[in-house]
Amino acid sequence: MSETPRLYANIGAEEGEPPQRASTGRAETAVAQAWRALFEPPLYAWLEPAGQLFAWLNTDAARAQAKDAGVALAGADPAIVRRVHDKAFAHEVACRESLLPPELARAIAVLDPESLRDADAGVAAIAAALAAWPEALRARFTLKPRFGSSGRGRVAGTAGVADTPEIRGALPRLAERGGALLEPWCERTEDLSASLRIGAAGEILLLGTTRQWLTPAGLYRGQRGTFDTKARVTADSPHDERLREAAVVVARAAFAAGYVGPAGLDAFAYRSADGSIALRPAVEWNARFTVGLVAIGLLRRHRAAIVKAFRLRAPERLAFHFGLEAPPAGWPTARETIRTFPIRPGGVDSGPALVLARDRETLEQELGEAPA
């Protein structure tokens, strides 16, 4: 039997399986390329034995692919995945475990698909929820699908007005995506994620934390953080410890619901109404592979080359960037303070790559703090 497992790269399957979707974007193609590189020999022990099919997201279509190939589907049953991958699950756990800042705990509303299928009823439900919010929170709000990825499918609102053409037009689509979460729009200062793997006996392997690199609209572009000689990855954030604690709490709840396999917890820091920085440590639970997990895995795969290139010694840490595509000027050329490690063999190009730098300032000066 081949040492290389079978792969089903259904990136973005929250919005439909690849054959059923109108097109596959450049970002999804880059994610698939990087994810496949994670499975090149030698395999990590936590990826489990060969002879299974690994899907990006375990769905009914992924299970059918595994059955056709005559192998087992690695990870949890698709029905369990759908239960815990629902954004309402993370919200439910966050409320139960007091992981939400009080101002948000009183505002976020879960909307079932049935309440959104009739436009008048959907608008009325949204208006009723908004009416209970403090005026400051109603200034900007968002409806996001309970099943979605990379920030797609969100609908924005302002001034507490629920009845707009944009919102009415989005309700059928949100209903098809499992309903929606109604949330205040927060002025984010950091987007964070924790990457984990939950074993069959409930053991939780916390692989690392990273900072997500997003556009101002919230579209995903990559990951950043720090890296040491043992390939330990952190987000280089003052919120790292709280994020790790929240990740374990949500992971235990997911395991109690039957989930095993790779996962990620998204979080963000934001500016609260009084101007202070607050953390929302449990925003979304991704019951699947994540780009953060891929970035951590690829950093570990390149560990020896990175350590050698920088003559890295403990307790030194490097700043890293994992991007899905190069900036307009291209990936940085190698010099003493910065190096690029392309994911695709054959040299530096516009595809996904790891960039390592001596410090965060060098990295941000070369690549920018936010994508253009």
User: In this predicted structure, what is the pLDDT of residue 218?
Assistant: 61
172 and 208 share one domain: no
Q: Using CB atoms within 10 Å of the CB of residue 276, give its burial: 0 to 12 exposed, 13 to 18 middle, 19+ buried.
A: exposed
Query: Could you tell me if 235 and 355 lie in one domain?
Result: yes
User: pLDDT tens across 354-366, in order?
Assistant: 999 999 999 989 9
Shared domain for 126 and 237, answered yes or no, is: no
Share of the chain above pLDDT 70, in %: 93
Q: Are residues 265 and 356 in the same domain?
A: yes
For 279, the 3-state DSSP assignment is strand
pLDDT for the residue 207: 96
- Kindly state whether residues 37 and 135 are assigned to the same domain: no
Alpha helices in the chain (DSSP H): 26-38, 60-69, 78-85, 87-96, 102-105, 119-131, 135-138, 165-176, 240-256, 291-301, 303-310, 360-367
Q: Of the residues 185, 206, 234, which one is the last residue of a structural domain? A: 185
Is the domain of 212 the same as that of 334? Answer: yes
List the one residue out of 235, 211, 141 whose CA is nearest residue 181. 141
Comparison of pLDDT for 89 and 214, the residue scoring more: 89
Q: Answer yes or no: do 124 and 218 share one domain.
A: no
Residue with tokens 């949204």: 126
Are residues 141 and 198 part of one domain?
no
Residue 247 has pLDDT above 50, yes or no: yes
Residue 94 placed within a domain: no
Same domain as 233, residue 150: no
pLDDT-derived band at 370 (thresholds 50, 70, 90) equals low
Which domain range does residue 112 map to? 107-185
At 18 the pLDDT is: 66
Tally the domains of the chain: 3
Nearest Cα to 214, choosing from 283, 277, 297? 283
Last residue of one domain, picked from the residues 185, 214, 239? 185
Q: Answer whether residue 216 is part of any domain.
A: yes
Strand pairing category for 72-73 and 52-55 = parallel
- The four Cα atoms 69, 72, 78, 79 give a dihedral, to 10 degrees, of 120
User: Is the pLDDT assigned to residue 2 strictly greater than 80?
Assistant: no
Which residues are CB-neighbours of 308 under 8 A, at least 6 positions away?
none
Q: Residue 112 is part of a domain; what is its CATH number?
A: 3.30.1490.20
* Residues 343 and 358 occupy one common structural domain: yes
Reading phi first (left if > 0) and then psi (alpha if -120 to 50, else beta), residue 153 is in: left
Q: Which residue type, as a one-letter code, is found at position 208?
A: G
Q: Please check whether residue 305 lies inside any domain of the structure.
A: yes
Q: How far is CA 196 from CA 6, 9, 12, 47, 106, in A?
A: 21, 19, 19, 12, 29
Q: Do residues 147 and 210 share a domain?
A: no
pLDDT tens for 130-152 read 999 998 899 999 999 999 887 78
pLDDT over 50 (residue 1) = no
The three-state secondary structure class of 101 is coil
User: What pLDDT is stored for residue 271 in this prediction?
Assistant: 93
